[in-house]
Amino acid sequence: MMIASDIVFHTMLNLLIVSLIWAFSFGLIKTSLAGLDANFVSAARLGLSLIVFLPFFRPRGVSRPVALKLILVGAIQYGGMYLAYIASFQYLQAYQVALFTLFTPLYVTLANDWLLRRFNGFTLLAVFLTIAGAWIVRGGAGLHPGLLAGFGLVQISNVCFAIGQIAYRAVLGSQPVKDHQIFALPYLGGFLVAGIASVVFSPWNTLVVSLPQGLILLYLGVISSGLCFFLWNVGARQVNGGTLAIFNDLKVPLAVAVAVFFFGEKANWVSLILGSGLCLFALWLNAWAQRRQPFQRSGLDG
């Protein structure tokens, strides 16, 4: 039996691996799926994720109210998130989408503290330090009017993703069920939202998917969405809200590193080192603060 510290270590390692995989997704979507309808891409990814977890689904392990809540969580965290996220690539470069996701941990912390009816100054400080670190990585890039549409879409995506992570923890709580046995339900909720949007808005008469695009969609749906969202939400149940918030932002410097080494983009190495170091310091600060305050779950279990 693993001790608590081992569980936390493996959980954080999983979150780090997921963050690295997601760092590649920004560039893949921008370079390989350009021209494909955002609603179709969202529905395809979530449909594949649902197929992956259907064989593991055990409906007897969860009550009907909890099942409906999980479907609703998925509709928000995956359906709403993907519709806004994929659409933002019409207005932004891949690195800009990654940059604007740095606001996610702020929403995660606010949602978590709201559920717990508390205010944690150290966690909020760590979140702001991570945001600052991610901003430094991008060399202090700012907004201008041409980016506002994409920026707004990414913020909608961030809010949906943040609310979904916290709500998933709150809904399951201490339910006597394993995550993989019920994870088809959140994907079902997400697929319903994205699928309806695709049926209504996708240009089906002109939609053409090439073989390389199909393979990229298969990878994104099975690995980047299906497996990674599962590992992420499982990890979300095992770490405190502050650590979860910090890992939400580590994908930003990781995405920049991927852009530099794999997609040939230029980066300011001083900004990259300073910003990444600040993110790591924020993670340490949060861990130190949580040792002073025992981890609490929200009181919305069931």
Whole-angstrom distance, CA of residue 213 vs CA of residue 34: 9
Closest alpha carbon to 99 in 286, 284, 255: 255
- Contact predicate 220/28, CB 8 Å: yes
**CB contact set of 32 (below 8 Å; sequence gap of 6+):** 212, 213, 216
- What's this model's pTM, rounded to 2 decimal places? 0.80
The residue count of the chain comes to 302
Handedness of CA 118, 124, 126, 130 (dihedral sign): positive
Q: Which residue in this structure is represented by tokens 């590992």?
A: 231
* Residue 72: per-residue pLDDT: 97
* Residue 121: per-residue pLDDT: 76
Tally of CB atoms within 10 A around 217? 23
Provide the 3-class DSSP secondary structure of residue 226: helix
Q: Which residue in this structure is represented by tokens 């949906």?
A: 160
* Residue 2: per-residue pLDDT: 47
* Residue 1: per-residue pLDDT: 44
Q: Domain map of the chain by residue range?
A: 4-122+139-242
Provide the 3-class DSSP secondary structure of residue 286: helix
* Residue 295: per-residue pLDDT: 45
What tens-digit pLDDT sequence spans the chain (302 residues)? 445 555 566 677 788 888 888 888 888 898 889 889 999 999 999 999 999 999 999 888 788 999 999 999 999 999 999 999 999 998 887 877 887 787 777 777 777 777 777 766 777 787 788 778 767 766 665 556 666 788 889 989 999 988 888 888 888 877 788 889 999 999 999 999 999 999 999 999 999 999 999 999 999 999 999 999 888 877 777 776 667 667 766 777 777 777 777 777 666 778 777 877 887 787 677 667 666 654 444 433 33
Tally of CB atoms within 10 A around 137? 29
- Contact predicate 34/26, CB 8 Å: no
* Residue 301: per-residue pLDDT: 37
Outline where the chain has alpha helix (H): 4-32, 38-53, 64-74, 81-88, 94-100, 104-116, 121-137, 148-172, 179-182, 184-201, 211-219, 228-236, 241-261, 269-292
